[in-house]
Amino acid sequence: MALKMRESCERCAVSLSADGRASICSYECTFCPDCTEAMAAVCPNCGGELVARPRRKAA
């Protein structure tokens, strides 16, 4: 199963590129670096830890 690379932050809706910085939880909730910092790296949906999302090369 491939990791779903969401294209926008779930909190502020800023656009995220596949090769850019973002954070995810174990349920693949996705947030930009600014929102991740503002939420102290805790997912507001599940309470899980937000970690750096792997990057993919741009298509």
The domain spans of the chain are 1-59
- Taking only the tens place, the pLDDT of each residue in 1-59 is 788 889 999 999 999 998 999 999 999 999 999 999 999 999 999 999 999 999 887 65
CATH topology of domain 1-59: Herpes Virus-1 (3.30.40)
Query: What is the pTM assigned to this prediction?
Result: 0.89
The pLDDT score that the predictor gives to residue 55 is: 87
SS3 category, 42:
strand
Are 27 and 53 spatial neighbours (Cβ–Cβ below 8 Å)? no
| CB proximity list for 50: less than 8 A, separation 6 or greater | 23, 24, 25, 29, 31, 36, 39, 41, 42, 43
End-to-end CA distance of the chain: 20
The pLDDT score that the predictor gives to residue 57 is: 78
